[in-house]
Structure 1
Amino acid sequence: MLRSLTVSLMFCRRAQQLPRMHCSSIRQAENTSAVDALYNLSVDISKIRKLKGWVLYQSPVYVVETVAMLRTLGVRDSLIAQVLEHHPEAILCPPEHLEAQKELWMSICASHSHLVGIIEKFPASFFTSSCHIDHQRANVTFFQNLGLNKRVIAKLMASAPQNFTRPVEQNEEMVQALQKTYLELGGNEANMKVWLQKLLSQNPYVLMKSPETMRNNFNFLHKQGFTSSELLQLLSRLKGFVTELHPESMGLSLSYSQETLACSHAELRQIVLQCPALLYYSVPILTDRFKCLLGAGISLQQIMQTPTVLELTTQIVQYRIQKLRSYGHDIKTGSLELLNGTKKDFEMNCGKLLLRQERPLFNPVAPLRTDE
C-alpha cells in the first residue's frame, strides 16, 4: 500500500510539471457557432487556427456580446475583426466581465476613443481573465491615491498589465522603495510625484523588479565612487533600468570600457553620467561598437567627448558616416555631434550640411557696390 501511495504521488508531481493541453487537442470538432459568427464578421479564421486554434474549440463563447460591447464604444467593424484576429480569447470573456472591464477602464480613460485606441494596440490588457478584476481595481485605486495622472495610469495598465493583475501589496512595496531611494539620494519631496510619474511612464516594468535588486545595484555603484546626486541622476536617466541590472554585468562593462578608453575612474564616471548605456550594454555589444567607430577612423578622444554615440548600433553608425561623407564631411575630425542623436536630429544635421553646400558665394540679385 505504501508503494502504491508513493507511485501515485510521483504520478501527480509529473502531471503537474507537464504543460497544460488546450482543449483543441482533446475535442474533435470546432465550435461551429463561434466559427460562423467570426466568419460573418470577416475575421480571418485561418489566422486564428494557425496561432490560437484552441479558442475555436471552447464553449461557451460570447462573440455577439463582445462585438456589441465594442460597438457601444464606437469601434468600427473592420477594427473589431482585427482585434479578434489578434486576440481571439476576447470571445471567451462573459458579458458581465466585459462590462466590469469597461467601467474600470473608463475610470482612467479620457474618452471612449481613448479606450478604443488602447484596445486596438493592447487587446490582451483589456480582455483579461475575470479572476483578476479585484486586483485591477485595487491597483487602479492605489495609483490614483498616489496622485498619478489618469492618462499615465491607463498607459501603465495597457503596456504592463501584469502590474495590475497581481496583489496591490507588491506594487506598494516597490513604489515605497523607489520613493525612499529617491529621498535618500537627495531628491526633493515636492517633486517626487512628478518624478515617479515620469519614471513609471517611461518604464512601467520597473514595478516588476524587487527592492532588493535595486538596493544591490545602488550599493555597487556607490562603491564605484558615484555620489548620491549622481546616483539620483542615473536612476532618472536610466528610466528605471537600474532595477534590471546586476553588479556582475555592470562590473564587466565598466572594466572593459575603462580599459578600452584608457581613462581614469573619475573620467569613467563622468562618461557613464553622459551615457548610462555603458552600464547595461554587454561586453560583446560594446566591443562591436568600439570596433566599428575606431575602424571608421574615429579617435578615443572623440568618443570620450561624445560617448552617447555608443548608443547607436553599428549599422546606424556605418550608414550615417557614409551619408556624411557624401556631403563632404570628414567625421575623423571635430565633434561627433553630427553623427549622434535620433534619426530626426541626424536628418536635420544633414540638411544643414546640404544648405552650406548649396549656399552661393555671393547674392547675384544684390546690386554690386561701386565707388562713387
Structure 2
Amino acid sequence: MAQRILYFLWSVRRCPPLPAASRFCSSKPTDLSLPPENPENESLVENLSSMGVDLESARRRQPGVLRRHLTNEEGLALFLRSKGAEPETIASIISRFPRSITRTCPHLEERWTLWRNVFQSDREVVGILTRSPESFFRSSDNKNLEQNIVFLMSLGITRKDLHRLLTTAPRTFSNSVELNQNMVELLRDVCARLGGNDPQTFTRTIISRNLYIFIRSTNRISANVDLLKRNLNLSNSEALGLFQSHGAQILDLSHESLKRNLESLRRKLGSLGCGADHFKAMILNYSYVLFMSSERLNQKLDCLLEAGVRAEQVVLKPKVLDFSLVSIRQRLIRLNQLGYDFQKSGIAVLDSSKKRFNAKLARLGSREE
C-alpha cells in the first residue's frame, strides 16, 4: 500500500513544466470580484459565442462568469483539444459549467495529471468531462484533491471505486481531508459498537456500496444507524450484515424521510395482518423498499393483493416492488390470462428479467395448448 501511494505522489510531481505563454484571456486583467450588477463582458460573450457555447445555458447556470474580465476560455479550449476533445464537446462543457473558463493552464495540467493516476487514458477523462463537467471543474484546490486521493488509497479503496467516486460523487474530493477522515472514524466506531472485528473492511465495503457517504453528515449517518437498529430490533450481527449489503444505501436518506418511510411500511403491513417479524424480514430482504414513497408502495402492494398474491409472499420476495406499477400490472394481466396460481406456484416469476418472464410465459402457453 505504501508503495502504491509513493508511486502516485511521484507521478504527480513528474508533471512536465508548462510554457509561460499558455495563458489566454478574453480581455485585459482587472478586478476578479466585480459586483453582480455590472454588465456582461462583451468581448468574452462574443468569444464564447464564436466557440459555439450556449450562452443562455451559461447564464442560467453561472451568470457571474460572463461578467468577469479575466478568463481563460481560449487556453481551456487548446488544452482540451490537446487531450482529444472535439470543439462541440468543449462548447458543451463550457455551456454546462461556465466556471471552467476561470481555471489557469497550470491548474488544468496539474489536475489532469491527478485524474490520470486514477483513469487509464485521456479519452476516458474526456468522456467523463463530456458527461459531467462539474466532476472535474467544481473544485479548484488541486492539493486537497491529491490529499483525498492518497487518503482513500490508504484505506484500500480500489482504483475502480476511486473512479466511481470521482465521477458519481465528486464533492467527496472537495471536502477537506479532515472531514472525510471524520466519516471514516464514524464508520469504524459503528463497526466496533456492533461487535465487528474488521473495521477496515466494514468501512471499505460501505464506501463501495454507498458512493455518497462522504457528502452526508456524520450526524445523519449515526442517527440512521441507531434508528434502523432500534426500529427493526436488529441484533449486532444482523445490523452488520445489513449495513455491509444493500442497507448501506439507505443510510443516505434524510433522517426524517427514513423515519417516515419506516412508519408507513409498518402501518401498511400491519393492516395486512403482518407483524414485527414480517416488517423486519422485508427490510432485511430488500431495504430499498424504504426509498419508496408511502403512496407508491401502497399502490403496488394493493395491485398485487388484488391479483391474489398474499402479503407474506411479498415480504419474502420484496424485489417485485422494484418494478414500476405499470410493469407489475402488465405482468399480472398476462399471468392471469394463462390461469397462473400464485398460491401454488409462488411469485418468483414476477421479479424475473423481461427475457426470463417472456420465456416463462411461453412455457406456460405451450402447456395450455
State the TM-score, normalizing by the size of structure 2. Answer: 0.78
Structure showing greater radius of gyration is 1
8 Å CA contact 1:252–1:283 kept in 2: the answer is no
Name the structure 1 match of 2:221: 214
Structure 2 counterparts to residues 200-349 of structure 1, below 5 A: 200-223=207-230, 224-235=232-243, 236-242=245-251, 244=253, 246=255, 248-249=259-260, 251-325=262-336, 328=338, 330=340, 332-333=342-343, 334-341=345-352, 345-349=353-357
Q: 1:76 matched to which residue of 2?
A: 86
**For the structure 1 residues 222 and 23, does the alpha-carbon distance in structure 2 shift closer, same or farther, using more than 3 Å as the test?**
same
Deviation of residue 288 (structure 1)?
Answer: 2.7
Are 1:120 and 2:120 an aligned pair? no
2:150 to 141, 147, 164: 141
- Identical residues among aligned pairs (%): 25
* 2:188 alignment partner AA: Q
Q: 1:303 to 1:260 in 2, by over 3 A?
A: farther
- Report how far residue 172 of structure 1 moved: 0.9
Match of 2:4 in 1: none
Question: Does the Cα contact within 8 Å between 2:61 and 2:97 map onto a contact in 1?
Answer: no
2:71 to 45, 49, 61: 61
Between 278-287 and 86-95, the greater mean CA deviation after superposition = 278-287
1:120–1:29 distance in 2 versus 1, CA, 3 Å: closer
Code of the aligned partner of 2:298: T
The one-letter amino acid paired with 2:271 is T
Post-superposition shift, 1:45? 3.4
Structure 2 counterpart of 1:156: 165
What is the rounded CA distance, in whole Å, between the counterparts of 1:110 and 1:91 in structure 2? 25
Q: 2:103 aligns with which of 70, 75, 93?
A: 93
- Unpaired segments ≥5 residues, structure 2: 1-32
- State the partner residue of 2:8: none
Q: Is the 8 A contact 2:250 2:287 kept in 1?
A: no
Pair 323,24 (structure 1): closer, same or farther in 2 beyond 3 Å: farther
How far off is 1:243 after superposition?
Answer: 5.0
Distance apart, 1:184 and its partner CA: 4.5
Asked if structure 2 preserves the Cα contact closer than 8 Å seen for 1:209 and 1:243, the reply is: yes
> How far does the alpha carbon of each residue in 1:198-255 deviate from its partner, in whole angstroms, 9 at most, with x for none?
4323322112334444343333333342112211221121233225353733551353
Correspondence for 1:103: 113
Tell me which of the two structures has the higher relative contact order, counting C-alpha pairs closer than 8 angstroms and 6 or more residues apart: 2
Matched with 1:353 is 361
Q: Which moved more, 1:237-246 or 1:121-130?
A: 237-246
Distance 2:60 2:223 in 1: 44
Compute the RMSD of aligned alpha carbons.
3.0
Deviation at residue 31 of structure 1 after TM alignment: 2.9
